[in-house]
Structure 1
Amino acid sequence: MNNRQLTFAREFRGYSQTELANSIKGLSQSNLSKFEKGLGYLSEDLQKKIIDFLDFPVSFFERKINSTITHAHYRKKSAVSKAEITKFENKCKLLGYIVDEMSESINWPEFNFIQLNIEEGYSPAYIAGYNRAALKIPKGAPLKDICNLLENNGVIIYEMEIPEKFDGISFFTDKGYPIVIINRNFPNDRKRFTIAHELGHLLMHNDFQFPISEYRDEKFKEKEANEFASEFLMPSSDIKNSLRGLKWNDLGVLKSYWLTSIASIIRRAKDLECISNDRFKHFRIEMSRYGYNKKEPIDVYIDKPQCFKNGYHLFKNELSYSDDDFVQTMNLPLDIIKDIFYYDRLVSLKVVRNIA
């Protein structure tokens, strides 16, 4: 049994070492701790009991899931427990592992975005503009089908059912496939900005492509990713004139056109020096007064991610995979397979009878 896989399975199921040890007769927390650190031994009988209890296939414990989650964003990090973060990130790692396993049978789209070394002086705005030009995105036009654009150019986007406090996450799998995971429950304008934000991380903060200086801490990278997303979605050369002398009544029209949130448009106006700090503060107060900080008006358009879903249907329809085939191929339990591949999940409906 691979000790790291045991730790992964335990954390994924939400058990601490003490809780798992208390659930299995003959297993002590100290022995479990030593084993997970690679310093101890567990009998075959105890290993079997652990495997049965955690309900993972035996073959899973001989695999290695190494995907490093490099860019994770939590809206309310102070309110997120370490256990919640670990479980969420482990689910993301499982998705990366599945993408790699699927690549043995299907070809994912080639990665066509251009990574420029931000350490050499390329600004986030320049990198965003350079990629827009390279991908021939029309000037002056909003980026309507953002999921289609990213996925056709090699970035796999996945919507996950996760708590509101988790924003987004991006990483490269062990085999080098870029993945962006977003919260399925978010409004579309926030999804769009999150996707662009995560793309910025993939292009600017990939340690495997370029060495990143230590001074670029999490806060610094977040700022750069926001700058990238703003320019990628609302290029300064296209939006600046419409932001000069910005009025409250302009915001709905701008949101409907650029498909971005009112909050991001106000921030863009400030960053491009189209409004004063006092005007910016006034807009923020108005946002709070109308309750727009919690829920903005106007639901903008976003296209649906299709790449991973299409890969799944290729396995189901072209390769005739059953759920059991996925379990055996991926070395994962059925509940995880059904959770990750949620596309066939039936929605529960109720019959409403009119009573005359």
Structure 2
Amino acid sequence: MFSSKRLSLARKRRRLTAKMLAEKAGVSPVTITRLENGQNEAEPSTVERLAENLHYPVSFFYKDDPSMLSKDVVSFRSLKSMSAREREAALGAGEIGVEVYGWVRTRFNLPDLDLPDFDPELTPEAAAEALRQHWGLRYSPVSNMLKLLEAKGIRVLGLEERTAKVDAFSFWQDGDAYVFLNSFKSAERSVFDAAHELGHLVLHKHGETSGPGGDTRTAEQEANRFASSFLMPEEDVRSKMPRIITTDFIIRAKKRWRVSAMALAYRLYHLDRPLLTEWQYRSICMELGKRGYRTREFEGIDRETSVLWGKVLAELWSERKSLAHIAEQIDLPADEVEMLFSGILPRQRESLRPNGASRPKLRTVK
């Protein structure tokens, strides 16, 4: 049976209005609207024209309805700066990502989710410390945030750089936790984004991430506080800071926690007992800005890449299969599947090929 929701999903993924799709496919805008509302029977010839212009396989439109996401439960950071088409395209990426993970789950044994419920009255800082203790991290720096999330059963995927106004987002779906990361900013920023989205998953699981009128400021501030505390535990930070903290010291010290210089300065100022006065904090931020640290990190860290997906693709390559195989299995265009790995796989995909001496440890479901 034709799925009206899948037509809507494909159109939004291609960032087309109903009128734009109608013009491309040679049908009326009313036809598109009625098809998406389930008011018209879908003629096979019409579906073929729509599929051709959307660059989706015809079979995609005859699958069961996808899991639909609402912007109210997705942690979009900049709703006011995003256009409706950008927001809908990003939601569509989330819906497709759920399907991709659904396929992987039928083929591989994935880590179980280990993200306990905490008292909703906990402050972001207390929640970050509680999760660190639950995961046995104590006060040591996180060596690889993406690897940690995957090991704890959180489903991580990437975002294409065309969605430049979406830094990252996360959501809960059918008991699973998802994080989507965009790689158009520095590697340090991606680490903080991952921790920020973890904060949303922990702090806002039982409520919406936006208030009246789409106001997300409170939730975003809480997620930032969580991320700052999770990545830079107060005990560790205090033990490494000298009596006099300079801009140059912050630039050197930030590498320990794999964060940006600005993020470390922010943490030092916002501790319960700040290590920087307001004047020192503002002066350091101004100096960092003059040196270009607002937009980039000089001598930065390497970008984190997915361990889990590296193993999945290594297993596929051992069978002479590629990402295109995943796309074929779930009736998706290859470019949509490739988009989900933007920024979370090594630049050279050849590096994921198994070398015979090290077989992937991810177990295939028998």
- Give the TM-score, by structure 1 length: 0.84
Distance 1:157 1:232 in 2: 18
| Pairwise CA distance, 1:74 | 4.8
Distance 1:90 1:67 in 2: 8
Q: How many residues align?
A: 339
Distance 2:12 2:40 in 1: 19
Q: Which residue of 1 aligns with 2:220?
A: 222
Which residue type is aligned with residue 169 of structure 1? F
Closer, same or farther: CA 322–182 of 1 in aligned 2, 3 Å: closer
Alignment of 1:187-226 (within 5 A): 187-207=186-206, 218-226=216-224
| Pairwise CA distance, 1:155 | 1.6
Q: Does 1:116 align with 2:118?
A: yes
Alignment of 1:64-213 (within 5 A): 64-68=65-69, 70-74=73-77, 79-118=81-120, 121-139=121-139, 141-163=140-162, 164-173=164-173, 175-207=174-206
Which residue type is aligned with residue 194 of structure 1? D
Q: Which residue of 2 aligns with 1:236?
A: 234
Closer, same or farther: CA 322–258 of 1 in aligned 2, 3 Å: closer
Closer, same or farther: CA 102–80 of 1 in aligned 2, 3 Å: same
The answer for unaligned runs of 5 or more in structure 1 is: 348-356
| Pairwise CA distance, 1:339 | 4.3
Q: Which range moved further: 11-20 or 297-306?
A: 297-306
Question: What is the CA deviation profile of residues 2-35 of structure 1, one whole-angstrom value per residue up to 9, with x for unaligned ones?
Answer: 111111111222321111212233x211232122
Distance 1:256 1:46 in 2: 56
Given that 1:244 and 1:275 are in contact with CA atoms closer than 8 Å, whether structure 2 keeps it comes out as no
Distance 2:215 2:84 in 1: 20
SS of match in other structure, 1:104: helix
Given that 2:77 and 2:216 are in contact with CA atoms closer than 8 Å, whether structure 1 keeps it comes out as no
Given that 1:157 and 1:179 are in contact with CA atoms closer than 8 Å, whether structure 2 keeps it comes out as yes
Q: Which residue of 2 aligns with 1:354?
A: none
Q: Which residue of 2 aligns with 1:29?
A: 29
| Pairwise CA distance, 1:267 | 0.9
Given that 2:125 and 2:229 are in contact with CA atoms closer than 8 Å, whether structure 1 keeps it comes out as yes
Closer, same or farther: CA 22–236 of 1 in aligned 2, 3 Å: same
Closer, same or farther: CA 38–116 of 1 in aligned 2, 3 Å: same
Given that 1:170 and 1:181 are in contact with CA atoms closer than 8 Å, whether structure 2 keeps it comes out as yes
Q: Which range moved further: 305-314 or 268-277?
A: 305-314
Given that 1:145 and 1:302 are in contact with CA atoms closer than 8 Å, whether structure 2 keeps it comes out as no
* Amino-acid identity (%): 22
Distance 1:324 1:266 in 2: 44
Distance 1:110 1:248 in 2: 42
Distance 2:294 2:346 in 1: 35
The answer for unaligned runs of 5 or more in structure 2 is: 350-366
| Pairwise CA distance, 1:202 | 1.2
Given that 2:187 and 2:304 are in contact with CA atoms closer than 8 Å, whether structure 1 keeps it comes out as no
